[in-house]
A and B are shown apart, each in its own frame.
Chain A
Amino acid sequence: MISLRHLTKTYGRGHAAVTVLDHLDFEVPTGRIAAVVGPSGAGKSTLAQCINLLERPTSGAVVVNGEELSGLPEKRLREARRRIGTVFQSSSLLSRRTAAENIALPLEYLGVTPGEARARVAELLDRVGLSDKAGHYPFQLSGGQAQRVGIARALALRPSILLADEATSGLDPDTTRSVVGLIRQLRNDLDLTVVFITHEMDTVRQVADTVARLDHGRIVEQGDLVELLTSHDSLLGRSLQPRRGHAGPEAGTRTWYVTYDSTDVPGDWIQRFTGDLGAVVHLLGASVETVHGVNTGSATLGIGADDDARVRGALARYGLSGTPDGGGGSQSHQLLTAAAVLEDVA
């Protein structure tokens, strides 16, 4: 378990001082994967550097398994870093060392005997599925393989906390999926506590148990991933939904943005909803996926009915929630726009 208490990080002094983290409180229970998202400039990288103790917070505490680490003297701080494994953005491998030598780096720093280190490295290579790549240099590895080596290196000293700092940024979707799968697998096998910092909402839906949104140096919203995804009023939940383009509405219909607002939306809701409403319903766009066993997603519909309240009522019957486009000024519309902006910035 890791908890951050009133974490504050200020750079500079006096009038030039910039507060990047502002009394941030955050906690990840043992064995959970918590994603931290937020626009650039929100303080994500500073947060990462405070968690793996590369930066000392100006005030506040980083507590790992009940022990306060951020206030330790320099030498002890270096030892404390070993309890937190960090997976960096791809291409963080030393170019003149093989995969095995890269993984051995933390063991080497610790002063582990070469024999022990070899055994541990072999075990780690096996765990990340790269036993046949031990002697390969980084330039011979694909992005996904390099990142697996990065993960193995982060785990070399058996940390209880794994910090992934934009670990999948720059990887293609398939590779991201496999790296994320590996992280979840390792979490299950090793009971790791994972802090997954990213700006990619698609990745968050694949990896996270809980999600927190960082903005202006504070956690402004957090919650369980599925709850957020099925919550109509959550800005964070909205921004987690994939937002793709959709077809234009036909004459006589109105565009509605519909989100899955509960955990038990029936698979045939479109058919049933259309029957209930007794009006024309065009499917203009949709994205539905199963997250932790629950169907979540959104759809854009062109609906040939004028009575908003009736449409809303019909949707609500199936655990859905709808917002007409062009409604103007409504709270949900603003929320929607804000969510889109959030995604843009990210």
Chain B
Amino acid sequence: MSALIFPRADVPLNDLPALLLPAYGETLTMVGIVMAVVLVIGAPLGVLLHNVAPGGLYERPALHAVLSWIISIGRSLPFLILMAAIVPFTRFITGTNIGIAAAVVPMSLAGIAFFTRIVENSLRSVPPSMVQVARAAGGSNLQIMRTAQFSEAVPAVIGGLTIQVIAMIEYSAIAGTIGAGGIGYVAVTYGYQRFDNTVMLATIVILVVTVALVQIVGDRLVRFTTPQKRLQRA
């Protein structure tokens, strides 16, 4: 055990920022890149999934079944297993299987599957009469998807996005165990393998505060994008 080889000595408080800040930066980078990819691919995919479903604007039940099935597979694997399973694919894309670049690939895949479902679900909660209204007003399918479906669902999508960002922070910590860096990596190497309680505690505080902040910002945005909540508060 590492505690036997290295005499147990917690990282002094003074050195904590030097250890944690770069790691935190790495975590934010990972989550940031992944969220960008997820938004760009997941949002249109969610809208597509919703509209090829029976009753959608481009009803294609067979395509919907296939898409839905693929997404369900992505959603059903625990992240650790997904990450390990697609190592060859990750190496093919990034040329490496460690580090931030390598972590971003499985995180994006899991994230896209996650977000696609969130968008699909949010659109489903918009009353179908809104689409009828937009069609009767002479809207093209693209206009209808933008103004009557997605725009109406924005608060729900933001609510889902909040859950998603928090899930991605969690995934980044799991990715940390295979050497992706970030707060998760520090927590595992110092807190777990070296029994450094100070570092362990510090990473926990950072994660709790980060998640709380994300939640607060998300809630604010939901309120801001829902006229009823925004104006009744004032």
Given contacts A89-B129, A139-B227, contact A96 B136 (CB under 8 A): no
- Residue A105 is within 8 A (CB to CB) of chain B in the complex: yes
Total number of A residues with any Cβ neighbor in B under 8 Å: 27
Q: For residue B140, which residues in chain A have a CB less than 8 angstroms away from its CB?
A: 78, 109
The residue that B129 contacts in the complex, of A82, A92, A96, A105, with Cβ under 8 A, is A92
Please list 7 pairs of residues, one from A and one from B, whose beta carbons are closer than 8 Å in the complex, sorted by A's number.
A78-B139, A81-B137, A94-B148, A106-B137, A109-B139, A137-B228, A157-B138
- Residue A176 is within 8 A (CB to CB) of chain B in the complex: no
The residue that A137 contacts in the complex, of B147, B151, B227, with Cβ under 8 A, is B227
Q: Enumerate A74-114 residues with CB–CB distance to B below 8 Å.
A: 78-79, 81-82, 84, 86, 88-89, 91-92, 94-97, 105-106, 108-110
The residue that B151 contacts in the complex, of A78, A96, A140, with Cβ under 8 A, is A96
CA distance A267 to B60 in the complex (A): 64
B138, A78: Cβ atoms closer than 8 Å: yes
Given contacts A94-B152, A95-B152, contact A109 B137 (CB under 8 A): yes
The distance from the CB of A99 to the nearest CB of chain B, in whole angstroms, is 11
- Residue B215 is within 8 A (CB to CB) of chain A in the complex: no
Cβ contacts B137-166/A at 8 Å (1 or 0 each): 111100100011001101100000000000
CA distance A289 to B164 in the complex (A): 62
- Residue B1 is within 8 A (CB to CB) of chain A in the complex: no
Q: Enumerate A128-167 residues with CB–CB distance to B below 8 Å.
A: 137, 139-140, 153, 156-157
CA distance A52 to B136 in the complex (A): 7
B226, A96: Cβ atoms closer than 8 Å: yes
Given contacts A108-B147, A109-B143, A137-B228, contact A96 B152 (CB under 8 A): yes
Q: For residue B228, which residues in chain A have a CB less than 8 angstroms away from its CB?
A: 95, 137, 139
A92, B130: Cβ atoms closer than 8 Å: yes
Given contacts A54-B132, A137-B228, contact A94 B137 (CB under 8 A): no
The distance from the CB of B148 to the nearest CB of chain A, in whole angstroms, is 7
Total number of B residues with any Cβ neighbor in A under 8 Å: 23
Q: For residue B148, which residues in chain A have a CB less than 8 angstroms away from its CB?
A: 94
The distance from the CB of A332 to the nearest CB of chain B, in whole angstroms, is 42
The distance from the CB of B164 to the nearest CB of chain A, in whole angstroms, is 21
B138, A95: Cβ atoms closer than 8 Å: no
CA distance A65 to B137 in the complex (A): 19
- Residue B18 is within 8 A (CB to CB) of chain A in the complex: no
A110, B231: Cβ atoms closer than 8 Å: no
CA distance A40 to B129 in the complex (A): 19
- Residue B178 is within 8 A (CB to CB) of chain A in the complex: no
- Residue B167 is within 8 A (CB to CB) of chain A in the complex: no
The distance from the CB of A91 to the nearest CB of chain B, in whole angstroms, is 8
A92, B133: Cβ atoms closer than 8 Å: yes
CA distance A91 to B127 in the complex (A): 10
Additional 10 contacts, C-beta under 8 A, given A106-B137, A106-B138: A52-B136, A84-B136, A86-B133, A91-B129, A105-B139, A109-B143, A109-B147, A137-B228, A137-B231, A156-B137
Q: For residue B225, which residues in chain A have a CB less than 8 angstroms away from its CB?
A: 96
- Residue B33 is within 8 A (CB to CB) of chain A in the complex: no
Nearest 4 Cβ contacts at the A-B interface:
A106-B137, A137-B227, A82-B138, A86-B136
